[in-house]
Amino acid sequence: MTTTNILLCGVGGQGTLLASNLIADCAMKAGFDVKKSEIHGMAQRGGSVVSHVRFGESIASPIIRKGEADIVLSFEELEAIRWAEFLKPDGIVITNSQKILPMSVSAGSEKYPENIPEILSRSSIANICVDAIGKAIELGNQKCLNVVLLGVLAHKLPMIDSILWKESIKEKVPQKLLDLNLKAFDAGWALA
Amino acid sequence: MTHKGKKAFLSGNAAIARGAWEAGIRFASAYPGTPSTEILEFLGKYDEIDAQWAVNEKTAMETVIGAAYAGARSICAQKHVGLNVAADPFFTASYTGINAALVIVTADDPGLHSSQNEQDNRNYARMAKMPMFEPSNSQEAKDMVKAAVKISEEYDTPVIIRTTTRISHSEGVVELGERENAPEREFERNMGKYCVLPAIAKKLHEKVEKRTSKLEELSNKSEFNRIEKGDKKLGIITSGVSYQHAKEVFPNASFLKIGMSWPFPSELFQKFAAMVENVIVIEENDPFLEMAVKAAGVECIGKEKIPACSELNPDIIYEALKDFAEAKAPKSAKLVSGVNIPVRPPVLCPGCPHRGVFYTLRKLNCTVTGDIGCYSLGALAPHNAMHSIVCMGASITNALGIEKAMKDKIHGKLVAVIGESTFMHSGMTGLLDTVYNKGRHVTIILDNSITAMTGHQPNPASGKTLKGEPAKVVNLEAVCKALGVDHVTCVDPFDLKQLEETIKTALADPEPSVVITKRPCFLLKSYKPKTYKVSINREKCVKCGMCMKLGCPALEINPEDGKTVINYALCVHCGLCAKVCRPGAITQATEEAK
């Protein structure tokens, strides 16, 4: 059985940690061995954040090698290209179309790359760019961006039964936000 | 919370807490520090465990030693540099031994994800002569805590569990067990064991040396040290997460997997060395295992190939040992060349109460000694307002030393900046030193009422304990006055005018002075300040760039016209930018925002 590697990236505060928790939980429910690694501490302070999620029959290292990721799930466009080289040549980038400017860009000393989906395509990297943040705002809370993106991701993970995603969301999300997040997942699923 | 036989997905830190609970541990204490913080947070969730935040690692260590003497199985957990703070009681606890079990967790940070150095605390085990376990995943983290409790009581010694960031903060599947009911142990007066007068300690040292020999026998037969037979050409000796990385690169090699790494299992190693053609030691940072291998007189490949700096991962191990690799590195997707990807370092959050302090210190062109916390980010652009950062508490005494060296050249310009949690950790003694030794620099205590950097742990300024119970709130102003500082002023860091005046007055003071800037961390869930909408009239913006000096992530320069725009997805309406905007383009409403 092959190992599936998903690299999640984004900006501290965007909710990548909950998303990686949900993926790991679903993979475990689906009967896989699972490992996940991420760095805490800076996560709330606007820095670049990354989580590695790996599942399969038996997983040794919690870290994905360069060229091993099946999917890079990016919460922000610039982060998508920062981590794209972790992908297999036939891997895929799924990115939220949001742009969050690093301090050097907002202060005018550096430029944010233009047209990131086009850069990916020019690099022969398969990519899906979705307005997940727009969808989340439409649903009334930009914080559910992470679950919208999970809905998109779920399409690409046929080895995980789609029922499991909702089961995990029900277990991991606080009751008062459950409805919102279930809607967010469906919205993401419809976007893909 | 029993769920025997059930599987859970746990981080290394959660697994350590679970192991402690299953092993019947009753008491825990620690000071927060990445990557060890969550261990105590998880321990605090168990009703059967009395878990508390200490004011520093030394008080935590001394408290758990006391609890272990008095019969409660106990645990403390600290980041690598935290063990330096606790080193004094730590070394002597090895001599006295324990009564009920004592487990000491050191969480090292290879790669310096959130630390000021990369010290390899495995060296502490050798120096303190304490047995040590190195888990390589969450399951082992739990199992080793339980083994540590057993060994601690059987061999009358504290036991070290050494993790790294990639163990503490990686998650894996763990099988849960039941809680063991530890037998009650009485605390009896035993001068020859607990009172380390020189003549007694002399005997205790002999006991420690004998214990070490017995522990080495144990290490040779420990279930955590094992030979995995494979290709005889390649014999890899490794421990911790390096084992997992090495398995990815060399799935068919022979392994000596070390879980109990001190005392080193010499006999088992000799057996392994005789089985394989090439011995390779794969470990992060120091050549800890490699020294043992070389001391045994066996040639090996080690640090001449494996980097001593930063953490390892499968890619680095492959690169270092390419000649031995069974398969080539995977091919990866490549981005077209010529794309500049701006870095994204962490920044002070929107609404951070520290922002105005660094803005002001920069404006006044002060020399600033810094400390450990979120506010270390004041060293970075655009604040550039820090001249030194050494360790917890060093700001105040660094400043005192600078004064001693520079005298009149620095008087009136020198400021030490320290958070309230760090001040209580080890700044108070430095302030007393400053008063006693006639320093006159200004100490600014950034009081946001929480230990923020590590994720909002309560401290004596917060009014509650780890368990969420109400606690007495420390009076920092009274503490400073009691230490001999006559001029202590409290100020709201959002009131920029008063903040500047207060700091200027303090700088002019010929005696040591303290300024306490008081405002809660904006991210605190319990903190719901009234906010008033901030907006910008872009016609009035003259591109002076004053607002950008605040380094607020919610302010951006529009590349087309060079004028400031507010990013409302990030803005929390703290109003600081309105206060520094000279032409009055940025304003704050007077009515409460929605």
* Smallest Cα distance from B367 to chain A, Å: 24
Contact at CB, A44 and B381, closer than 8 angstroms: no
Cβ–Cβ < 8 Å for B418, B444: yes
B544: left (phi over 0), alpha (psi -120 to 50) or beta: alpha
Q: Which of residues 416-445 of B touch A (CB under 8 A)?
A: none
C-alpha distances in angstroms, B398 versus B54, B417, B427, B529? 24, 11, 11, 35
Going by the DSSP 8-state scheme, the letter that residue B31 receives in this structure is -
Residues β-bridged to residue A127: A93
Q: What domains, with CATH codes, occur in chain B?
A: 7-221 (3.40.50.970), 226-324 (3.40.50.920), 355-518 (3.40.50.970), 532-592 (3.30.70.20)
Put simply, the answer to whether B114 touches A28 (Cβ < 8 Å) is: no
Which chain B residue is nearest to residue A117, measuring alpha carbons? Answer: B335
| pLDDT, tens digit (0-9, with 9 covering 90-100), for B205-231 | 999 999 999 999 999 999 999 999 999
Query: Taking the CB of residue B307, how many other CB atoms lie within 10 A of it?
Result: 14
**Segment A73-105, tens digit of pLDDT:** 999 999 999 999 999 999 999 999 999 999 999
Name chain B contacts of A86, Cβ cutoff 8 Å.
Answer: 332
* Pairing status of strand B7-11 against strand B50-53: unpaired
Kind of pairing between the strands at B253-258 and B226-228: antiparallel
B172–A67: do the CB atoms touch at under 8 Å? no
pLDDT at B528 (0 to 100): 87
Chain A nearest-CA distance from B216, in A, is 28
Alpha-carbon distance B198 to B195, whole Å? 9
Q: What is the mean pLDDT of residues A167-188?
A: 96
Q: Are the beta carbons of B288 and B122 closer than 8 angstroms?
A: yes
pLDDT at A12: 86
Q: What is the residue-wise DSSP string for B162-205?
A: EEEHHHHTEEEEEE--PPP-PPP------HHHH---HHHHHHHH
CA distance B336 to A116: 11
Tokens describing residue B158: 């504290």
Give B242→chain A minimum CA distance, Å. Answer: 8
How far is the alpha carbon of A127 from chain B, nearest alpha carbon, in Å? Answer: 12
8 Å CB contact of A62 and B244? yes
Give the residues of chain B that fall short of pLDDT 50. 1-2
**Per DSSP, what are the bridge partners of residue B417?**
B444
How long, in residues, is chain B?
594
Report d(CA B235, CA B255) in Å as an integer.
6
Q: How many CA atoms lie within 13 A of A159 on its CB side?
A: 15
- Residue whose token pair is 């550039």: B384
CB contact under 8 A, B343 and A102: yes
Residue B1 has a pLDDT of 46
The sheet carrying B442-447 orders its strands as B367-369, B414-419, B442-447, B513-518, B487-491
d(CA B280, CA A152): 44
Helix (H, G, I), strand (E, B) or coil at B105: strand
In chain B, which residues have their Cβ closer than 8 Å to the Cβ of A35? 137, 170-172
- Helices assigned H by DSSP within B306-416: 314-320, 355-363, 394-406
3-state helix, strand, coil in chain B (%, to 5): 35, 20, 45
Residues in A touching B35 (Cβ below 8 Å)? 40-41
Q: Which residue of B has its CA nearest to A25?
A: B9
How far apart, in whole angstroms, are the C-alpha atoms of residue B399 and residue B383? 19
Does the distance separating the beta carbons of A35 and B334 come in below 8 Å? no
The whole-angstrom separation of Cα B301 and Cα B289 is: 12
Segment holding A37, helix H or strand E: strand A33-38
Distance from CA of B203 to the nearest CA of A (A): 44
Closest Cβ–Cβ partner in A34, A68, A123 for B335: A123
Query: Which residue of B35, B172, B332 is in closest CB contact with A67?
Result: B332
* Domain boundaries of chain A, sorted by first residue: 4-131+150-173
Eight-state DSSP code of residue B275: H
Confidence of residue A70 (pLDDT cuts 50, 70, 90): very high
Contacting residues for B10 by C-beta, under 8 A, at least 6 apart: B18, B138, B142, B171, B172, B174
pLDDT of residue A59: 97
Contact A68, A7 (CB under 8 A): no
Q: Is B150 on the interface with A (CB under 8 A)?
A: no
Q: Where are the alpha helices (DSSP H) in B233-372?
A: 240-249, 266-275, 288-295, 314-320, 355-363
Which superfamily does A4-131+150-173 belong to? Answer: Pyruvate-ferredoxin oxidoreductase, PFOR, domain III (3.40.920.10)
Chain A and chain B share a number of CB contacts under 8 A equal to: 185
- Determine phi and psi for A90, rounding to 5 degrees: -105, 20
Partner A, chain B 296-355, Cβ-Cβ below 8 Å? 313-315, 318, 329-336, 339-349
Chain A interface test: which of B13, B315, B344 (most A C-beta within 10 Å): B344
Chain B residues within an 8 Å CB radius of A67: 329-333
What is the per-residue DSSP string for A121-134?
A: HHTT-EEEEE-HHH
Task: Check if B34 contacts A (Cβ < 8 Å).
Answer: yes
For residue B417, the distance in angstroms to the closest alpha carbon of chain A comes to 20
Q: How many CB atoms lie within 10 A of CB A106?
A: 26
Q: What is the ipTM of this complex?
A: 0.96
Structure tokens at B188: 């009896």
Backbone angles phi, psi at B145, to 5 degrees: -65, -40
The alpha carbon of residue B587 and the mean position of all alpha carbons in its chain are separated, in whole angstroms, by 40
- Cα gap B63→B70, rounded to integer Å: 11
Per-residue model confidence (pLDDT) at position B5:
74
